[in-house]
Structure 1
């Protein structure tokens, strides 16, 4: 990997630092190792010439690129997260560089027979002839969202070194714990001081998103009674059998593996069962608020109906809203999406405007007063061993950031 482009070196320097977050922790950041990259990023922002660089007690990083124009320009921001998903290990990442990709299978790990194949991951064929960065098959890569961080830092450095590109004040923000749903929880919107922002946290080149799921989590508890199995007739209540009644009462085809686009779902994420008590963990998702509320109501009704059926308070449910569709907050200021779309089009990138089938820091931030659409960072197959990112997509994202800054200044003349 000699003579690597600076953007590749920067990206690799980030992904080789383990920043996996932990949903069982109540600290911020949720893991102390996130500080390793957070402190590095703060120092790097200072080194490239950013102003007002700060890192707070919860590892939230902010910095400013001052305006280089005389007229008034809206202050915009770019935001990414530095933690990686606990779904798959992010320790000891050993990236592979695939130059001039030939469109064939990529052997990630010969010893374990792990192959990244376009027969299964068709998007690979979009990047034939390009340079890909992959895993070695034993870890995730961390392009979600260290590609986004790489692009933001690289864009800021480029703007600093090219003052002929006119722009207003630009804010940069890097957050911990996005992967466990807490990335915006302690984000100081007032301190950040932007009129609007963009998260660089999408996938395929061209993605531009301002809609996401409404989201809730549900915990269903089923009570049982433990009795010696030799003397259990008429006495034992096996909560695990009753749990299957709840699972089967929900629409079987309204699950992630059977839905796409704007279709919502119920997703059973875990079962923890013993005879005496079983706990089901669900997530509930829908883009439409009315349908979202209907899904929550259905789960409550199933709980009530099953208690009636078995003539006992066996089932209980707790539902907690997690985040909402940012479309409601972005639509009144759609010019911020239009600017991003124009930036992509002017660079020869076809905008892919579609709903996010998930969440984003931008959703919470939009409801906190910072409208925040999402832009591609370039990676694919997040949260697992098949994750990869084309270098050319990261380079294009850098150009999009710079062009958004330029267009915002031009529109304000």
Structure 2
């Protein structure tokens, strides 16, 4: 069986080129995509896809990249899509990323040169213990790397180049979808699934090599607005009700030993404030609410409102508004109806010579919403680690395994049809 070989280091070269393009999304923006610079990467990807011979590759007005690798088999094979997002997290700068390849890693501390206080230690990054002898890619210490999710983008591009160059590898029609704004929860807001025309999909946006994920958090977002009473501070006695202090009391009243990211793991959910702003008269906080169970998710929202009501009793002249909106839902219920999608994914990982790790995601992917929109879509590893921060890293060898897994999936769907 023909295997993918990264002999010319094309995978890491692609990846390095992509992470140097700043694609940070912006939750405060009302444009689509939220930042125009995401289209810079999209345009490059279209140029590269066309150079491979994929004639229909294009970037639409919303910043999505669509492309089709035509079927090369006489079999009637379901249309499979591979999807990754192009944006990087607003939590950490993605401007002027300088990727560094640490070859033949031997377990040493990796000190990032542009800020020597940023050090990757095996004791703190447990997956590094599996990387002895591999090549580790980091940023330089002042930015994130962007492996979330440009590792997935590079892997899909590399697999596409392989399939185009090796027509003896039989497959059905393969669709490619690269999305903007996934990191701010808008990744498929404007995805045209009718145009995409896929029956099943896989996001390539997972962490540890070998992981396949069929379950995510269900997610809500909440916005709390406090209307206080402003007064001159020199004459405020008995009059002022500071919205800032009210909001501070509410945040202080949130549970600390449960229902917070710092105190939860596995299937436990949380209420997490992610942004605050305000003045004496008005203050505002944004929260994310997460749980694997939809009923528990609703209960967390109710608990947040009960905390707000309890605090507001002490401020009779002030008022609040709390709006809770759906962001995405656990994809497991959908994927359970199509067990072969997960089965083929696991088989593809095994054929890449990797132990399968079936996991749940304490987060979400585009696949969460795609599944609920009618396109069943589990998540496959991309090899990204410590994402959303300056210690983000990826392994070239893990990324190679991800490329082989994508190629294997294309073949398995053809074989099974």
Normalised by the length of structure 2, the TM-score is 0.94
| Equivalent position of 2:407 in the other structure | 402
1:36 aligns with 2:40: yes
Contact 2:115 2:141 in 1 (8 A): no
Shift of 1:222: 2.2
Contact 1:133 1:388 in 2 (8 A): yes
Unaligned runs of 5+ in 2: 1-6
Tell me, in whole angstroms, the C-alpha distance in 1 between the residues paired with 2:49 and 2:28: 31
| Equivalent position of 1:9 in the other structure | 13
1:333 aligns with 2:338: yes
Tell me, in whole angstroms, the C-alpha distance in 1 between the residues paired with 2:387 and 2:231: 45
Note the alpha carbon deviations across 1:237-280, whole angstroms, 9 max, x for none: 12233223322443222100111111000101122232222222
1:270 aligns with 2:275: yes
1:56-95 maps to which residues of 2 (within 5 A)?
56-95=60-99
Tell me, in whole angstroms, the C-alpha distance in 1 between the residues paired with 2:388 and 2:8: 25
Tell me, in whole angstroms, the C-alpha distance in 2 between the residues paired with 1:242 and 1:18: 38
Unaligned runs of 5+ in 1: none
Note the alpha carbon deviations across 1:64-83, whole angstroms, 9 max, x for none: 11111112111101001111
Contact 2:348 2:412 in 1 (8 A): yes
Tell me, in whole angstroms, the C-alpha distance in 2 between the residues paired with 1:158 and 1:78: 14
Greater shift, 386-395 or 222-231, is seen at 222-231
Summarize the Cα distance change of 1:60–1:111 in structure 2 as closer, same or farther, 3 Å threshold: closer
1:149 aligns with 2:142: no
Note the alpha carbon deviations across 1:14-51, whole angstroms, 9 max, x for none: 11111111222222222222222111100111111224
1:365 aligns with 2:365: no
Contact 1:144 1:379 in 2 (8 A): yes
1:112-123 maps to which residues of 2 (within 5 A)?
112-123=116-127
Contact 1:51 1:66 in 2 (8 A): no
Alignment counterpart, residue 186 of structure 2, candidates 177, 182, 186: 182
Tell me, in whole angstroms, the C-alpha distance in 1 between the residues paired with 2:251 and 2:244: 11
CA RMSD of aligned residues (A): 1.7
Instruction: Say how many residue pairs are matched.
Output: 410
Contact 1:49 1:157 in 2 (8 A): no
Note the alpha carbon deviations across 1:273-319, whole angstroms, 9 max, x for none: 32222222211100101101111122223333444455455333111
Summarize the Cα distance change of 1:111–1:138 in structure 2 as closer, same or farther, 3 Å threshold: closer
Shift of 1:111: 5.7
Summarize the Cα distance change of 1:89–1:308 in structure 2 as closer, same or farther, 3 Å threshold: closer
| Equivalent position of 1:97 in the other structure | 101
Contact 1:303 1:316 in 2 (8 A): no
